[in-house]
Amino acid sequence: MLSEIMQEALNIQINKEIYSAYLYLSMAAYCDSINLKGFANWMTIQVQEELSHAHKFFNYLPERGGKVTLQPIDGPETEWDSPLAVFKHVYEHEQLVTGLINGLVKLAREEEDYATESFLKWFIDEQVEEEASASEVVEKLKLAGDQGSGLFMLDRELGARVFTPPAA
């Protein structure tokens, strides 16, 4: 059984994961509006990933006797100055999410909730991948610049990304 404080924290994380999907959907719309369809595809795949993360939390709560309580989702930003600015925002956002997951692990340890700590290990590993992926695109954009053939090659590369659902 989850403690009240752990249940509340996990519900907040569901909200954060759905907000992340909403943010990436906004980024996809921005990328599409500047005709970078590959960038938009990368973001759309990210939307699916974030929603799958939210579902993991959503399913975990009742498994542990908790109750899911959904809250309103804040509106995301809608404009960026460049593709590089978008991916810098992605990287910063993923660092924020890493901090949130680390906070949940700390809380699970304080609550002596070893089942939740074990559940969160998958998210710790996932965040390493998420940050590395965003950082890689930031570095490539720094090399390619915000226009020219390098940008279009990167757009093609990002357009090849496909969603792979996480293991159950």
Residue ranges and CATH numbers for the domains of the chain are: 4-159 (1.20.1260.10)
> Does the CA dihedral 102-107-110-115 come out positive or negative?
negative
As a whole number, mean pLDDT of residues 38-51 equals 98
pTM equals 0.95
Query: In this model, does residue 147 exceed pLDDT 80?
Result: no
Please state, as a whole number, how many other Cβ atoms lie within 10 Å of the Cβ of residue 39: 26
pLDDT in tens, 115-136: 999 999 999 999 999 999 999 9
- Per-residue buried b or exposed e for 69-99, using 16+ beta carbons within 10 Å of the residue's own CB: eeeeeeebeeebeebbebbbbbbebbeebbe
CA distance from start to end of the chain: 21
Q: What is the pLDDT, as a whole number, of residue 168?
A: 64
Q: What is the pLDDT, as a whole number, of residue 154?
A: 96
**Interatomic CA distance for residues 47 and 157, integer angstroms:** 18
pLDDT in tens, 49-91: 999 999 999 999 999 999 999 999 999 999 999 999 999 999 9
